[in-house]
C-alpha cells in the first residue's frame, strides 16, 4: 500500500506557496517535468481542464463568426524582422532553428513565439476587397518563448498552449469594438468557469504588446499577494497592415489598409485556478472544469460487501451525467481513498456503507468546504445538481471577496510601498509615463503597473509617484 505521507501535501499553502504549488501539481498528477527546462508534460488531469476551456471559448468565438485555422510553427527571420517594435519585443525570447541535420539553413527560422508575422503574408493574399472583411481567424497551438526567468509550470513555461485570434477589419471602430468584446468573453470564461474574478483594463505604454497600438488585459490577484496577467486582447491598428501590405479596395474603389487585432488565452489559466482555489489538502477545481464530478467510495465489510457494492453501482449509474465513478479498490482503505480524491480535486465525494444502506441515504462531502450532507437516494440527483452549482458560486464569491478586500487606494509612493509589501493590490492616480513606471518598480522592489480600469472619470490630482498630473487610476503589485 502507498505511503500516505507521499500522497498528501506536506507543506501549508500560507507558509510556503512555491513548495505547496510544486507538490500539488505533481501529486495531483497534473504535470510531469521533462529534461528540457520550462517544458512540461500536460497529464490527462490538466489537459482535461484545458479541453473544457477550449470547448467554451470555441463556442463563444463561433458566435462571433470566428473560424479556426492553423499556420506553420516556423517563421523565417526576415518575416519576424519586418515590424521593428514587434521583433525588438520578442527577440530575447525567440528560439531559432539554424540547421537541418548537418546542413546550415540559408535563413534562420524562429520557433513560433506568436504568429502575427507568419499569418499576415497570407492575409495580404486573401484580402483584396471590402467584401473580404472582416477576416476572423483563430488557431489553437503551442508557442515557445525562451524566457530567462525561473520557469513555473503553467504560470511561466518556455512552451505553452494557447489560442491566438487574428482578425482584420475595414474600420478602426469595428476593430476597437472587437477588442473589448473578446475581453468580455475572456472575463466570462474566468468568472463563470474558472470562478476567478478579474480586473479589466488597458495596459500601460511600457507593458503593452510589442507592435500594438494598445493592449487590454484581465489581471488576477492571488492569495499570496502577487498579481498575474490572465490574458490579453490587442488593438494592432494598421502597424502590421502597412508592413505586410494588407489592404482592400473600399466601396469607393480606394485602397485602404485594414485595422487588425490579436488576442490570446493560455494554459496559464490552470495555474491561476490552482493558486486561487486549492488548499492544504490539494486541488480544488470548479465543477464546470471537471468531467468526473462525483466519486463514490463504498465502506466494505465481508458480511455486507455484496449488498453495498450492488447498491453503489446502482447509485453511480444514476449519476452518469456527472461522470460519477465507483472506487471499489479493495487494496486501499476508505480513508486513503478520501485523501486521494481530495488531493485530486473531485468536487463531490459520496460515502456509502452498511449503515447508509439500512437508512436509505448516502453521505455527501463537498471538496471545497468539507461539509457532510446526508442525502436520500431519491433526492440524490437533484442534490448533486444543487451542490455542484453552489460550489461553483461559492468559489467565485470567496475569491471575489478576497480580491475586493485586498484593493487599497493610495495617494503617495510611501503608502504604496507599504501596502505592496503587505501584499495588497494598490490602486493609485498615475501619470502613466514609462520613466515614472521604472521609478515605481525600483522603489517598490519590483512592482509594476497591471492595468488601468476602463471608463474612468477625469482626475484632478498629481501622480502618486511624481509631480506630473495624474491621467489614470492604475493597479500596481508584484506580478508573475
Helix/strand/coil for 268: helix
pLDDT for 147 equals 77
Q: Does residue 50 belong to any structural domain of this protein? A: yes
Average pLDDT over residues 29-34: 97
C-alpha cell at 227: 498579481
Q: 303 and 175, same structural domain?
A: no
Q: 314 and 223, same structural domain?
A: no
pLDDT for 83 equals 74
Q: Among the three residues 326, 358, 387, which one is the final residue of a domain in this structure?
A: 387
81: pLDDT strictly greater than 50? yes
The Cα 14–Cα 103 span in angstroms is: 53
313: pLDDT strictly greater than 90? yes
pTM of the model: 0.95
Q: 183 and 210, same structural domain?
A: yes
Q: 268 and 300, same structural domain?
A: no
Q: 372 and 310, same structural domain?
A: yes
The Cα 345–Cα 85 span in angstroms is: 43
Strand partners, 475: 427
6: pLDDT strictly greater than 70? no
The Cα 206–Cα 448 span in angstroms is: 10
Q: 125 and 273, same structural domain?
A: yes
pLDDT for 163 equals 98
Looking at residue 266, which CATH number applies to its domain?
3.30.930.10
Q: 64 and 13, same structural domain?
A: yes
Q: Does residue 285 belong to any structural domain of this protein? A: no
Split at pLDDT 50, 70, 90, the class of 292 is very high
Looking at residue 450, which CATH number applies to its domain?
3.30.110.30
**Contact criterion met (CB below 8 Å) for 140 and 163:** yes
pLDDT for 5 equals 47
For the residues of 367-383, what is the DSSP string, one character each? TTT--EEEEEGGGHHHH
Average pLDDT over residues 422-430: 98
The Cα 148–Cα 157 span in angstroms is: 10
21: pLDDT strictly greater than 90? yes
Split at pLDDT 50, 70, 90, the class of 210 is confident
pLDDT for 175 equals 98
Q: 376 and 447, same structural domain?
A: no
DSSP code for 321: G
When the pLDDT of each residue in the chain is averaged and rounded to a whole number, the result is 95
The Cα 27–Cα 6 span in angstroms is: 8
* Rg from Cα positions in the chain: 26
375: pLDDT strictly greater than 90? yes
For 169, 170, 426, the CA distances from 414, given in Å and listed in that order, are 45, 47, 12
Q: 272 and 209, same structural domain?
A: yes
> Which uninterrupted H or E stretch holds 438?
helix 434-444
If one counts every other C-beta atom within 10 angstroms of the C-beta of residue 317, the result is 10
Q: 431 and 353, same structural domain?
A: no
Q: 170 and 111, same structural domain?
A: yes
pLDDT for 4 equals 43
Q: 299 and 220, same structural domain?
A: no
Average pLDDT over residues 284-289: 98
The Cα 49–Cα 436 span in angstroms is: 40
Looking at residue 382, which CATH number applies to its domain?
3.40.50.800
417: pLDDT strictly greater than 50? yes
Q: What total of structural domains would you count in the chain? A: 3
The Cα 384–Cα 365 span in angstroms is: 10
84: pLDDT strictly greater than 80? no
Q: Among the three residues 339, 356, 387, which one is the final residue of a domain in this structure?
A: 387
The residue segments making up the domain with residue 441 are 406-477
Amino acid at each position: 500500500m502507498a505511503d500516505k505521507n507521499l500522497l498528501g501535501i506536506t507543506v501549508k499553502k500560507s507558509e510556503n506557496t512555491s513548495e505547496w504549488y510544486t507538490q500539488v501539481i505533481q501529486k495531483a498528477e497534473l504535470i510531469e517535468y521533462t529534461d528540457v527546462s520550462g517544458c512540461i508534460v500536460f497529464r490527462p488531469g490538466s489537459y482535461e481542464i484545458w479541453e473544457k476551456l477550449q470547448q467554451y471559448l470555441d463556442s463563444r468565438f463561433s458566435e462571433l463568426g470566428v473560424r479556426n485555422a492553423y499556420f506553420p510553427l516556423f517563421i523565417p527571420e526576415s518575416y519576424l524582422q519586418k515590424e521593428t517594435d514587434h521583433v525588438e519585443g520578442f527577440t530575447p525570447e525567440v528560439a531559432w532553428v539554424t540547421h537541418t541535420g548537418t546542413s546550415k539553413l540559408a535563413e534562420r527560422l524562429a520557433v513560433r513565439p506568436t504568429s502575427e508575422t507568419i499569418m499576415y503574408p497570407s492575409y495580404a493574399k486573401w484580402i483584396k476587397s471590402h467584401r473580404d472583411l472582416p477576416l476572423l481567424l483563430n488557431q489553437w497551438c503551442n508557442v515557445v518563448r525562451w524566457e530567462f526567468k525561473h520557469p513555473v509550470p503553467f504560470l511561466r513555461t518556455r512552451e505553452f498552449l494557447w489560442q491566438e485570434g487574428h482578425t482584420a477589419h475595414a474600420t478602426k471602430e469595428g476593430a476597437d469594438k472587437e477588442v473589448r468584446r473578446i475581453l468580455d468573453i475572456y472575463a466570462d470564461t474566468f468568472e463563470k468557469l474558472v470562478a476567478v474574478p478579474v480586473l479589466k483594463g488597458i495596459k500601460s505604454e511600457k507593458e503593452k504588446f510589442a507592435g500594438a497600438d494598445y493592449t487590454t488585459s484581465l489581471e488576477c490577484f492571488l492569495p499570496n499577494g502577487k498579481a498575474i496577467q490572465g490574458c490579453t486582447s490587442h488593438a494592432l491598428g494598421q502597424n502590421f497592415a502597412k508592413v505586410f501590405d494588407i489592404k482592400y479596395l473600399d466601396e469607393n474603389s480606394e485602397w485602404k489598409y485594414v485595422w487588425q487585432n490579436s488576442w490570446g488565452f493560455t494554459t496559464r489559466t490552470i495555474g491561476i485556478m490552482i493558486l486561487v482555489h486549492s488548499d492544504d489538502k490539494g486541488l480544488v477545481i470548479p465543477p464546470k472544469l471537471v468531467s468526473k464530478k462525483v466519486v463514490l467510495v463504498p465502506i466494505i465489510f465481508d458480511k455486507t460487501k455484496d449488498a453495498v457494492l450492488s447498491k453503489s453501482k446502482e447509485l453511480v449509474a444514476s449519476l452518469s451525467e456527472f461522470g460519477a465513478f465507483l472506487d471499489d479498490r479493495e487494496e486501499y482503505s476508505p480513508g486513503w481513498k478520501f485523501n486521494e480524491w481530495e488531493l485530486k480535486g473531485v468536487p463531490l465525494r459520496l460515502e456509502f456503507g452498511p449503515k447508509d444502506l439500512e437508512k436509505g441515504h448516502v453521505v455527501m462531502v463537498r471538496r471545497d468546504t468539507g461539509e457532510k450532507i446526508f442525502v436520500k437516494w431519491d433526492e440524490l440527483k437533484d442534490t448533486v445538481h444543487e451542490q455542484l452549482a453552489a460550489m461553483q458560486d461559492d468559489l467565485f464569491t470567496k475569491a471575489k471577496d478576497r480580491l475586493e478586500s485586498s484593493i487599497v487606494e493610495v495617494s503617495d509612493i510611501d503608502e504604496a510601498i507599504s501596502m505592496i509589501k503587505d501584499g495588497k493590490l494598490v490602486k493609485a492616480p498615475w501619470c502613466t509615463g514609462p520613466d515614472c513606471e521604472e521609478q515605481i518598480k525600483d522603489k517598490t522592489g519590483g512592482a509594476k503597473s497591471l492595468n488601468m480600469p476602463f471608463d474612468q472619470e477625469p482626475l484632478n490630482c498629481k501622480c502618486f509617484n511624481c509631480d506630473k498630473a495624474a491621467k489614470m487610476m492604475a493597479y500596481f503589485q508584484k506580478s508573475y
